[in-house]
Structure 1
Amino acid sequence: MTPGGSTPKTKRRVLVAGLACGALLLSACTPKPQVQASQSATERELVFAHTADATSTTLANVYVGMLEAAGIDAKVGEPVADPVAEVLDGKADVVIAGSGDLLAALDKEAPAGSAPVPGSAPATGSGKPSTPAPGTALPPSAEQTLKRLHGLDLGEYALLDSAAAARTGTLVVTAATSAGKNLATLAQLPALCPDLDFGVPKSLSADLLPRLEGIYSCTPHRMVPVVPQDESTVGPLITGQVEVLATTSDNAGIPDNGLVVVQDAQALFEPQTLTPLTTTRQLGQDAIDAINKVSAALKQEDLIALNRAVTGRDALGPEKVAIDWLREKSLVAKP
């Protein structure tokens, strides 16, 4: 039995239309819709899906800790490769995911002929507008992505309030490389790319090279795969294995090592504003309020601090880091 007796994958309903939300009422297609449940109390244990990386696990623990403090049964599920699919397939009830990942998953289910995601008008290296080839367009902005997400009718699912925090991809270099090569912005990349080795984790590699080449005329000397355990570190950059590292904006290794973020680099990657996706089956207003309260408190600096706490030299376990953060923010009572 799946959580709450969910329907099979083939019966999932994701339609781009008016907001006829069944058990939930959405006030409007806005980046932060107000969601109200048809019942006051949650009637069963909620399962939170997450990936194996420490930050994703910690975020799940943060939200679960808040729910438990509110008297709601909840638990962190086992790590999975695709936590969004876990919720859509009825194997979990909530996932805290990036907006780009959510849109990619939900848009697949939209009917043919739906309006395309609005994108940014890219520019060539000369600064003139261009019509990009397929696969070489810049992704939509964070605001556009959220607007499209909240324009979806999710049927028995709902998107709750987004946090002011994101795990969007970016490019970083050492201060020495930035100064020595005069590299601070994407506009400076074309002339430098033939001599640069890029370190790129698999999770960020899909569209990076096509966008670098097609939009910025940047063909790196080498694209070096970064193994999964290094995704939350900056080791390959610090040790000189690469000159440019693709990582995410929540990586505490960036400020802790005085690294330079390449200006505008986040535009190369799908925006990943942290947003809860949840089932509406037997979900009470108590759970919605608790989840939204965490999202309202979670800022980018908090996400970086959480990343530091679970991946740094003196890393702590996700459960302890989560409860410490909730107490620090006065979201739960201190012992």
Structure 2
Amino acid sequence: MTRRPTLAALAVTAVLLSACGTSETASGNDEGAGDSETVVVGSANFPESEIIGNLYAQALEAAGFTVETRFGIGSREAYIPALQDGSIDLIPEYTGNLLTYLTEDTSVVSAADIEAALPDALAERDLTMLEPAEAQDSDAIVVTAKTAKDWGLTTIGDLAGHNDQLVIAGPPEMSKRPAGLPGLEKNYGVKPTEFMPINDGGGPATVKALVGGKATAANIFSTSPALHANDLVTLEDPENNFPAQNVVPVLTAEPAAEQELVDALNEVSAELTTEDLIALNTAVSGDQKQEPEQAAKEWLQEKGLR
């Protein structure tokens, strides 16, 4: 959290994160936090993260905080260091993948066990978490209905019999992350003949590669509206290669000490469900093409949080 007298530091941050979407909104609410401090909310570079970032930012604004947003930063390899160096104060995260990133331990897969292990892993980097939401958005390996039928696919492991024809599309970091290609090979014997890196977090370009036949399988999030819209098939993951992924606010120590900030974010988490995520994603990425900011605003109003 950045105090107003140190705005020069924000200028440095603006240069460092100049590639990211940036905005600042001064709250007109004189109660609560007032206008003496600025909370910088970040997001990863895919629509759902920006939607949740907007939920956090607008809830904090309603609680009286001045909020600056820095959305579209990139993957964990970019935004975790941004948290640690103070460039941002807060970002939405997913519990399972975050724990794997921090510890490289792929043995913890249940929501309860991940939630128990994550605080200590974050503390080692001087970071903390608040209450996770019920909402989950898990990684999934997805194929077209035709491929599922032609190859007789039900589980991820069924792909192993087609390694010589298998092209998997996914985010660039999937090639090295434990739950990515290394995990697919370790847990299922799945080793594609080609990996197609697409930097859109399982978004439209990834879906286009899959539906258009350039890829035969893809890493797409389980709350993506593209699954239903394109009649895609999510392969079962019986070995739990992909751990539980509850949405959770991750932040630095200074804002975590502000009880009003903590309360505002916990209220969002208490209301956010997986069904809400699907609806928000559909509003933004579906036919409505709603801006993430507007979708977040309407959800907060519906829940009485704005």
Amino acid at match of 1:219: K
2:73 counterpart residue number: 80
- Is 1:58 the counterpart of 2:51? The answer is yes
1:243 paired residue among 216, 230, 236:
216
Q: TM-score, normalised by structure 1?
A: 0.70
1:217 paired residue among 182, 189, 194:
189
Amino acid at match of 2:282: R
1:322 counterpart residue number: 296
Counterparts of 1:117-136 in structure 2 under 5 Å? Answer: 117=105, 119=107
2:95 counterpart residue number: 99
Amino acid at match of 1:284: E
Question: Is residue 99–residue 105 contact of structure 2 (8 Å, CA) maintained in 1?
Answer: no
Question: Is residue 161–residue 292 contact of structure 1 (8 Å, CA) maintained in 2?
Answer: yes
Question: Is residue 170–residue 265 contact of structure 1 (8 Å, CA) maintained in 2?
Answer: no
SS of equivalent residue, structure 1 residue 267: coil
- Is 1:3 the counterpart of 2:9? The answer is no
- Is 1:185 the counterpart of 2:165? The answer is no
1:216/1:117 Cα in 2 relative to 1: closer, same or farther (>3 Å)? closer
Amino acid at match of 2:49: S
1:266/1:244 Cα in 2 relative to 1: closer, same or farther (>3 Å)? farther
2:168 paired residue among 185, 193, 198:
198
Deviation at residue 118 of structure 1 after TM alignment? 7.0
Deviation at residue 162 of structure 1 after TM alignment? 0.6
Long gaps (5+) in structure 2 = 7-30
Question: Is residue 174–residue 259 contact of structure 1 (8 Å, CA) maintained in 2?
Answer: yes
Amino acid at match of 2:226: G
1:86/1:297 Cα in 2 relative to 1: closer, same or farther (>3 Å)? same
SS of equivalent residue, structure 1 residue 228: coil
Q: Deviations over 1:278-301 (max 9, x none)?
A: 233264221111100101111112
Amino-acid identity (%):
29
SS of equivalent residue, structure 1 residue 119: coil
1:285 counterpart residue number: 259
In structure 2, distance between residues paired with 1:83 and 1:264: 28
1:149 counterpart residue number: 118
Q: Deviations over 1:129-188 (max 9, x none)?
A: xxxxxxxxxxx4443322211345738643100112234321011222222221011242
Amino acid at match of 1:306: L
Deviation at residue 45 of structure 1 after TM alignment? 2.0
In structure 2, distance between residues paired with 1:199 and 1:78: 24
SS of equivalent residue, structure 1 residue 170: strand
- Is 1:228 the counterpart of 2:199? The answer is yes
Question: Is residue 84–residue 102 contact of structure 1 (8 Å, CA) maintained in 2?
Answer: no
Amino acid at match of 2:277: L
Bigger RCO of structures 1 and 2 (CA < 8 A, at least 6 apart): 1
Question: Is residue 200–residue 247 contact of structure 1 (8 Å, CA) maintained in 2?
Answer: yes
Q: TM-score, normalised by structure 2?
A: 0.76
When Rg is computed on C-alpha atoms for both structures, the one with the higher figure is 1
- Is 1:176 the counterpart of 2:137? The answer is no
1:129 counterpart residue number: none
Question: Is residue 32–residue 64 contact of structure 2 (8 Å, CA) maintained in 1?
Answer: no
Q: Deviations over 1:184-209 (max 9, x none)?
A: 11242322333332222214332433
Amino acid at match of 1:46: V
When structure 1 is superposed on structure 2, of 189-198 and 293-302 the one drifting more is 189-198
In structure 1, distance between residues paired with 2:135 and 2:121: 22
Deviation at residue 316 of structure 1 after TM alignment? 1.8
Q: What number of residue pairs does the alignment pair up?
A: 269
1:104/1:220 Cα in 2 relative to 1: closer, same or farther (>3 Å)? closer
In structure 2, distance between residues paired with 1:119 and 1:256: 34
In structure 2, distance between residues paired with 1:232 and 1:52: 10
In structure 2, distance between residues paired with 1:157 and 1:197: 37
Q: Deviations over 1:30-58 (max 9, x none)?
A: xxxxxxxxxx9546221112123222222
Q: CA RMSD in A?
A: 2.9
Long gaps (5+) in structure 1 = 6-39, 108-115, 121-139
Counterparts of 1:151-166 in structure 2 under 5 Å? Answer: 151-152=120-121, 154=123, 157-166=127-136
Amino acid at match of 1:232: G
- Is 1:331 the counterpart of 2:305? The answer is yes
1:177/1:278 Cα in 2 relative to 1: closer, same or farther (>3 Å)? same
Amino acid at match of 2:242: F
Question: Is residue 170–residue 266 contact of structure 1 (8 Å, CA) maintained in 2?
Answer: no
Deviation at residue 119 of structure 1 after TM alignment? 0.9
The structure carrying a bigger helix percent of its residues is 2
- Is 1:301 the counterpart of 2:271? The answer is no
In structure 2, distance between residues paired with 1:87 and 1:68: 20
SS of equivalent residue, structure 1 residue 173: strand
